[in-house]
């Protein structure tokens, strides 16, 4: 388990994973002040206060700076990144090849790019592909 300020991440023990994931999915809707993101295929979950979402932070940045969504590119790989991968927040999205399937689907739906490599190398690759498609100078 890891704790990053207000952010908990935990990987379930193999023999307890199914039961824990089912319990968390049931309880997630009963705690409106808490966001619980379950990733059963990876036997792990994240929990954090509901106000701590990436989209909330990005919205604040847009409001403070005056940037428009067309000025913003975001990269993500986890389901929790979906909150900032919305057209009203960022017009450009990328992800690496090892991104969660829902992230890849969102990236493709928004006309972004999915890198052919995992992790940071895939993000760089996806950004270069998107930049080429958009005619940006890199």
Q: Kindly give the confidence (pLDDT) of every residue in the chain, 138 residues in length, as a single tens digit, with 9 standing for 90 and above.
A: 454 555 677 787 888 888 887 887 787 778 777 777 777 777 777 777 777 778 888 999 999 999 999 999 999 998 889 999 999 999 999 999 999 999 999 999 999 999 999 999 999 999 999 999 999 998
pTM: 0.74
Q: Concatenate the DSSP letters of all residues of 5-63 into one string.
A: TTEEEEE--GGGHHHHHHHHHHHHTT-TTEEEEEEGGGTEEEEEETT--HHHHHHHHHH
The DSSP bridge pattern shows strands 34-39 and 44-49 to be: antiparallel
pLDDT at 68: 96
pLDDT at 4: 52
Closest of 5, 85, 10, 86 to residue 49, by C-alpha: 5
pLDDT at 121: 97
Query: Whole-angstrom Cα distance, residue 30 to residue 33?
Result: 9
């Amino acid at each position: 388990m890891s704790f990053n300020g207000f952010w908990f991440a935990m990987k379930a023990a193999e023999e307890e994973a199914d039961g824990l994931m089912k319990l968390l999915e049931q309880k997630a809707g009963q705690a409106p002040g808490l966001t619980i993101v379950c990733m059963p295929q990876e036997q792990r979950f994240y929990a954090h206060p509901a106000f701590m979402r990436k989209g909330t932070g990005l919205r604040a940045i847009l409001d403070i700076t005056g940037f428009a969504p067309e000025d913003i590119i975001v990269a993500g790989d986890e389901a929790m990144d979906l909150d900032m991968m919305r057209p009203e927040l960022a017009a450009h999205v990328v992800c690496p090849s090892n991104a969660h399937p829902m992230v890849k689907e969102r990236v493709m739906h928004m006309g972004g790019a999915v890198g052919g490599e995992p992790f940071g190398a895939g993000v760089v690759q996806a950004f270069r592909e998107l930049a080429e498609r958009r005619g940006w100078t890199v």
